Amino acid sequence: MNLIGIGIDVVEVSRIKSSLDEFGEKFLTRIFTEAERDYCQDQKRPELHLAARFAAKEAIAKAFGTGIGKEVGWLDMEIKRRTSGEPEVRLSGAAAAFAASRGVKQVMVSLTHAKRYAAANAVIMGE
C-alpha cells in the first residue's frame, strides 16, 4: 500500500461548546451523524468528544487534499469507536465514491482531547 495523504487538526473545545450553545441541534445534525451524536451525548463532557470528532473530520479532509466540500462532506465521514476503544472511520456517500476513485484502502485516525483542546490526525493509505 502507498501513502495517499496525511492530515492533522486541532480544535478549541470552547468553540464547539459555543456552537452547541448557539445553534444546538442544527449544528449537531449538520456536522455529526446520528451515531456520533448518540455516543458523544452519552459522555460526561459531550463537547470534548464532539470536538475530537470535528478535528478528525477536518484531518481526514486535509489528508484527502480537498477540505470539507463537494468531495468530502461532514456527514460522509463517521468516527466510530471499536470495542477496543480505537477510533474507526466509516466513509459513505460522496466521500466513499471519492475514496474509491482514488484507490483508498484504509483511512486511519488518532484522536486526543484535554480540558481545552481536541486534536486528531489522519492517514490515508491506498493502492
Residues designated catalytic? 62, 113
Distances (CA, A) of 105 to 4, 14, 34, 81, 91: 10, 34, 25, 19, 11
Residues 6+ apart with CB under 8 A from 98: 64, 66, 71, 72
> φ and ψ at 37, to 5 degrees?
-60, -45
- Read off the amino acid at residue 6: I
